[in-house]
C-alpha cells in the first residue's frame, strides 16, 4: 500500500470532497490526490503559498435597466 500524505490547502471556491462540504476561505488537510485535483480545478491553493488574509470578493451590483420609449404617430398626426 502506498504511503498516505496530507496536504494543507486553502479552499478558494466552495466544493465537496468525499461527501464533505468545504466552504471557501477554509483551510483543510486533504489527501495529496484530492488536494492536487482541487488545485487543478482552481478550487484550492497550497496553504503554504496562500496569502495570510485571502482577498474578499466584491458583490456584483445589479445594472440599471435602460428605459426605451418609442414615439409613434397616430392617424390624426399627433404623437
Give 33-69 as a 3 state SS string.
HHHHHHHHHCCEEECCCCCCCCCCCCCCCCCCCCCCC
- Whole-model pTM? 0.59
pLDDT digits (tens, 9 = 90+) for 31-70: 999 999 999 999 999 988 877 665 666 777 778 878 877 7
Structural domain spans, the chain: 6-46
Q: Residues 17, 20, 25, 26: is their CA dihedral positive or negative?
A: negative
Q: Please say if the pLDDT value at position 79 is more than 60.
A: no
Count of C-beta atoms within a 10 Å radius of residue 34: 17
pLDDT digits (tens, 9 = 90+) for 28-39: 999 999 999 999
Quickly name the fold that domain 6-46 has. Ribosomal Protein L9; domain 1 (3.40.5)
Amino acid at each position: 500500500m502506498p504511503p498516505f500524505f496530507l496536504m494543507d490547502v486553502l479552499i478558494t471556491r466552495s466544493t465537496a470532497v468525499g461527501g464533505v462540504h468545504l466552504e471557501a476561505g477554509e483551510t483543510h488537510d486533504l489527501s495529496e490526490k484530492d488536494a492536487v485535483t482541487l488545485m487543478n480545478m482552481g478550487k484550492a491553493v497550497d496553504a503554504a503559498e496562500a496569502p495570510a488574509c485571502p482577498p474578499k470578493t466584491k458583490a456584483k451590483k445589479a445594472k440599471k435597466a435602460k428605459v426605451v420609449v418609442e414615439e409613434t404617430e397616430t392617424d390624426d398626426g399627433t404623437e
